[in-house]
Amino acid sequence: MTDWSPILISMKTASLSIFITFFLGLLVAWGIIKIKNDTIKSILDGIFTLPIILPPTVVGFFLLYIFGIRGPIGKFFIDYFTIKIAFSWTATVIAAVVMSFPLMYRSARGAFEQVDSNLLDAGRTLGMSEGKIFWKVLFANALPGIIGGGILAYARGLGEFGATAMLAGNIAGQTRTLPMAVYSEVAAGNMGEAFNYVIVIVIIAFIAIFVMDFVSIRKEKQWK
């Protein structure tokens, strides 16, 4: 009988991670485009994009080094809160956030940079605060690109494998996400069970692509 707990774990992980990634990506993208120094902007951009370029296991290694029981953050939480981060469900969220963040960040930054700066200046001329300019002018005009980035980030968090394996492990009922379940079933020779999990992942991925295309088409029609 198929164990459907990986689906629940993956959905919980992806949902929380996209909530964090969405707002963090917007904040960082907004901060980056406001930096005037090109050198500093390039360095920061490289740092924020790095997780999507490096092999996931390498990212997982760094996360384990930081959040492991002997890592600076991991040891702090164990010593002061008796909370173990590594090899817990929290670790799956951390891995998903780190690996999906570059997609959200770059999509949001690209969408922000396409907004006419004259619109922002007009908002300032009208006495709008920077917060209102961000949400009512910049965010509103960049929304299609932001939604596309959010969908990609959600799908990336849902399909995360390498960093999750390093930081969270493959504990049944706790940290075994859908990709980990596929790997486990194939390794055990249970191809039928693995196929069930694969079908679920493919359906979710297809829905994500469909939503992205739908948003893009709607926006194109509004511009015509």
Largest CA distance in the chain: 66
Which tens digits make up the pLDDT trace of 68-119? Answer: 999 999 999 999 999 999 999 999 999 999 999 999 999 999 999 999 888 8
**Can you give the pLDDT at residue 218?**
67
Task: Give 59's contacts (C-beta < 8 A, 6+ positions apart).
Answer: 51, 95, 98, 99, 162, 163, 166
- Its pTM stands at 0.90
Helix (H, G, I), strand (E, B) or coil at 169: coil
Task: Give 134's contacts (C-beta < 8 A, 6+ positions apart).
Answer: 30
**Residue 66, exposed/middle/buried by CB under 10 A (0-12, 13-18, 19+)?**
middle
For residue 34, count other CB atoms closer than 10 A to its CB.
10
Predicted confidence pLDDT, tens digits, the chain (224 residues):
668 899 999 999 999 999 999 999 999 999 999 898 989 999 999 999 999 999 999 999 999 999 999 999 999 999 999 999 999 999 999 999 999 999 999 999 999 999 988 888 888 888 888 889 888 899 988 988 898 899 889 989 998 999 999 999 999 999 999 999 999 999 999 999 999 999 998 998 888 888 777 776 666 566 55
Backbone angles phi, psi at 129, to 5 degrees: -75, 165
Task: Give 57's contacts (C-beta < 8 A, 6+ positions apart).
Answer: 162, 163, 165, 166
DSSP letter string, 93-133 = HHHHHHHHHHHHHHHHHHHHHTS-HHHHHHHHHTT--HHHI
86 within 8 A of 67, measured Cβ to Cβ: yes
Alpha carbon distance 136, 139 (integer Å)? 6
CATH for 5-223 is 1.10.3720.10
Query: In which residue are the tokens 């486990």 written?
Result: 184
Alpha carbon distance 81, 8 (integer Å)? 27
DSSP letter string, 53-93 = HS-HHHHHHHHHHHHSTTSHHHHHHHHHH----TTSHHHHH
